[in-house]
Protein backbone atom coordinates (compact mmCIF):
# COMPACT_ATOMS: atom_id res chain seq x y z
CA UNK A 1 0.00 0.00 0.00
CA UNK A 2 2.86 2.37 0.84
CA UNK A 3 4.29 1.63 -2.57
CA UNK A 4 0.98 2.53 -4.25
CA UNK A 5 0.75 5.79 -2.32
CA UNK A 6 4.36 6.61 -3.12
CA UNK A 7 3.85 5.78 -6.80
CA UNK A 8 0.74 7.96 -6.95
CA UNK A 9 2.53 10.82 -5.21
CA UNK A 10 5.55 10.62 -7.53
CA UNK A 11 3.28 10.47 -10.55
CA UNK A 12 1.23 13.44 -9.39
CA UNK A 13 4.35 15.48 -8.62
CA UNK A 14 6.00 14.69 -11.94
CA UNK A 15 2.85 15.68 -13.83
CA UNK A 16 2.47 18.84 -11.81
CA UNK A 17 6.02 19.86 -12.64
CA UNK A 18 5.83 18.98 -16.32
CA UNK A 19 4.68 21.31 -19.06
CA UNK A 20 1.75 19.00 -19.83
CA UNK A 21 0.16 19.72 -16.47
CA UNK A 22 0.27 23.45 -17.16
CA UNK A 23 -1.27 23.10 -20.61
CA UNK A 24 -4.31 21.08 -19.55
CA UNK A 25 -6.10 20.68 -16.27
CA UNK A 26 -6.04 17.05 -15.20
CA UNK A 27 -9.29 15.25 -14.58
CA UNK A 28 -8.77 12.79 -11.75
CA UNK A 29 -11.23 10.40 -10.15
CA UNK A 30 -11.12 8.19 -7.09
CA UNK A 31 -13.06 4.97 -6.57
CA UNK A 32 -13.64 3.05 -3.34
CA UNK A 33 -13.15 -0.50 -4.64
CA UNK A 34 -14.24 -2.21 -1.44
CA UNK A 35 -17.52 -0.29 -1.44
CA UNK A 36 -17.99 -0.79 -5.16
CA UNK A 37 -17.56 -4.54 -4.80
CA UNK A 38 -19.92 -4.83 -1.86
CA UNK A 39 -22.62 -2.54 -3.27
CA UNK A 40 -22.92 -3.96 -6.77
CA UNK A 41 -25.80 -6.37 -7.29
CA UNK A 42 -23.33 -9.17 -8.01
CA UNK A 43 -21.32 -8.30 -4.90
CA UNK A 44 -24.42 -8.33 -2.71
CA UNK A 45 -25.51 -11.69 -4.13
CA UNK A 46 -22.02 -13.13 -3.62
CA UNK A 47 -21.91 -11.88 -0.03
CA UNK A 48 -25.30 -13.45 0.64
CA UNK A 49 -24.14 -16.75 -0.86
CA UNK A 50 -20.92 -16.68 1.20
CA UNK A 51 -22.89 -16.02 4.39
CA UNK A 52 -25.17 -19.00 3.65
CA UNK A 53 -22.14 -21.22 3.04
CA UNK A 54 -20.54 -20.00 6.27
CA UNK A 55 -23.73 -20.72 8.24
CA UNK A 56 -23.96 -24.20 6.72
CA UNK A 57 -20.33 -24.99 7.53
CA UNK A 58 -20.70 -23.58 11.05
CA UNK A 59 -23.85 -25.64 11.65
CA UNK A 60 -22.08 -28.82 10.57
CA UNK A 61 -19.04 -28.08 12.74
CA UNK A 62 -21.18 -27.07 15.72
CA UNK A 63 -23.16 -30.30 15.45
CA UNK A 64 -19.94 -32.34 15.40
CA UNK A 65 -18.54 -30.35 18.31
CA UNK A 66 -21.72 -30.91 20.30
CA UNK A 67 -21.45 -34.66 19.63
CA UNK A 68 -17.81 -34.56 20.71
CA UNK A 69 -18.67 -32.82 24.00
CA UNK A 70 -21.47 -35.32 24.66
CA UNK A 71 -18.99 -38.18 24.21
CA UNK A 72 -16.53 -36.37 26.48
CA UNK A 73 -19.20 -36.04 29.14
CA UNK A 74 -19.93 -39.79 28.96
CA UNK A 75 -16.21 -40.50 29.21
CA UNK A 76 -15.86 -38.29 32.31
CA UNK A 77 -18.74 -40.10 34.01
CA UNK A 78 -17.21 -43.50 33.28
CA UNK A 79 -13.62 -42.39 33.97
CA UNK A 80 -13.44 -43.65 37.54
CA UNK A 81 -14.44 -47.21 36.63
CA UNK A 82 -12.16 -47.56 33.59
CA UNK A 83 -8.86 -49.40 33.71
CA UNK A 84 -5.68 -47.41 33.03
CA UNK A 85 -5.14 -48.95 29.59
CA UNK A 86 -8.71 -48.12 28.57
CA UNK A 87 -8.33 -44.57 29.92
CA UNK A 88 -5.20 -44.01 27.80
CA UNK A 89 -6.88 -45.51 24.74
CA UNK A 90 -9.98 -43.33 25.08
CA UNK A 91 -7.96 -40.21 25.90
CA UNK A 92 -5.89 -40.70 22.70
CA UNK A 93 -9.06 -41.29 20.68
CA UNK A 94 -10.67 -38.20 22.16
CA UNK A 95 -7.59 -36.09 21.44
CA UNK A 96 -7.43 -37.40 17.86
CA UNK A 97 -11.11 -36.61 17.33
CA UNK A 98 -10.65 -33.09 18.70
CA UNK A 99 -7.66 -32.52 16.43
CA UNK A 100 -9.76 -33.76 13.52
CA UNK A 101 -12.43 -31.20 14.39
CA UNK A 102 -9.80 -28.47 14.53
CA UNK A 103 -8.52 -29.55 11.12
CA UNK A 104 -12.06 -29.49 9.70
CA UNK A 105 -12.55 -25.99 11.10
CA UNK A 106 -9.33 -24.77 9.47
CA UNK A 107 -10.31 -26.37 6.14
CA UNK A 108 -13.71 -24.69 6.28
CA UNK A 109 -12.05 -21.32 6.93
CA UNK A 110 -9.67 -21.84 4.01
CA UNK A 111 -12.57 -22.86 1.77
CA UNK A 112 -14.46 -19.68 2.68
CA UNK A 113 -11.39 -17.51 2.10
CA UNK A 114 -10.67 -19.12 -1.28
CA UNK A 115 -14.26 -18.66 -2.37
CA UNK A 116 -14.33 -15.04 -1.20
CA UNK A 117 -11.02 -14.29 -2.91
CA UNK A 118 -12.18 -15.87 -6.15
CA UNK A 119 -15.42 -13.85 -6.12
CA UNK A 120 -13.63 -10.60 -5.22
CA UNK A 121 -11.08 -11.08 -7.99
CA UNK A 122 -13.80 -11.79 -10.54
CA UNK A 123 -15.79 -8.70 -9.59
CA UNK A 124 -12.62 -6.58 -9.41
CA UNK A 125 -11.70 -7.59 -12.97
CA UNK A 126 -15.13 -6.59 -14.22
CA UNK A 127 -15.07 -3.36 -12.21
CA UNK A 128 -11.71 -2.47 -13.74
CA UNK A 129 -13.20 -2.74 -17.22
CA UNK A 130 -16.16 -0.58 -16.18
CA UNK A 131 -13.79 2.00 -14.67
CA UNK A 132 -11.75 2.07 -17.88
CA UNK A 133 -14.93 2.66 -19.91
CA UNK A 134 -15.98 5.48 -17.59
CA UNK A 135 -12.49 7.01 -17.74
CA UNK A 136 -12.51 7.03 -21.54
CA UNK A 137 -16.12 8.17 -21.91
CA UNK A 138 -15.80 10.97 -19.34
CA UNK A 139 -12.28 11.99 -20.39
CA UNK A 140 -10.56 11.19 -17.08
CA UNK A 141 -6.78 11.34 -17.09
CA UNK A 142 -6.51 9.09 -14.03
CA UNK A 143 -8.81 7.14 -11.76
CA UNK A 144 -7.16 5.89 -8.58
CA UNK A 145 -8.41 3.53 -5.90
CA UNK A 146 -9.00 5.30 -2.62
CA UNK A 147 -6.45 2.95 -1.04
CA UNK A 148 -3.73 4.83 -2.95
CA UNK A 149 -5.04 8.30 -2.07
CA UNK A 150 -4.64 9.90 1.34
CA UNK A 151 -7.22 12.59 0.71
CA UNK A 152 -9.40 13.71 -2.16
CA UNK A 153 -12.32 16.12 -2.39
CA UNK A 154 -15.71 14.50 -2.56
CA UNK A 155 -16.42 15.64 -6.12
CA UNK A 156 -13.67 13.36 -7.52
CA UNK A 157 -15.27 10.23 -6.01
CA UNK A 158 -16.71 8.21 -8.90
CA UNK A 159 -17.71 5.16 -6.84
CA UNK A 160 -21.47 5.66 -7.25
CA UNK A 161 -21.07 6.12 -10.99
CA UNK A 162 -18.98 2.93 -11.17
CA UNK A 163 -21.58 0.94 -9.21
CA UNK A 164 -24.42 2.17 -11.44
CA UNK A 165 -22.48 1.41 -14.63
CA UNK A 166 -21.50 -2.04 -13.34
CA UNK A 167 -25.08 -2.93 -12.46
CA UNK A 168 -26.31 -1.73 -15.86
CA UNK A 169 -23.69 -3.80 -17.67
CA UNK A 170 -25.13 -7.03 -16.24
Looking at residue 139, the DSSP 8-state letter turns out to be T
What are the residue boundaries of the structural domains of the chain, listed by start?
2-168
> 110-125 pLDDT, tens per residue?
999 999 999 999 999 9
> 51-78 pLDDT, tens per residue?
999 999 999 999 999 999 999 998 888 8
What is the rounded CA–CA span in Å between residue 149 and residue 170?
29
* Mean pLDDT computed over every residue of the chain: 89
Give the Cβ contact number of residue 65 at 10 Å.
14
pLDDT of residue 79: 87
Superfamily of domain 2-168: Skp domain (3.30.910.20)
What is the rounded CA–CA span in Å between residue 165 and residue 142?
18
What is the rounded CA–CA span in Å between residue 125 and residue 137?
19
pLDDT of residue 75: 86
Asked whether the predicted pLDDT for residue 21 surpasses 50, the reply is no
Amino acid sequence: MKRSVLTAAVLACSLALSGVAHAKKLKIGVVNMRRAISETEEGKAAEKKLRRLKKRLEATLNRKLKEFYAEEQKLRKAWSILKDAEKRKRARASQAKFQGLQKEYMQAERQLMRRKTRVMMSITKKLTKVIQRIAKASDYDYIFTNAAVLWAPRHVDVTNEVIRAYNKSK
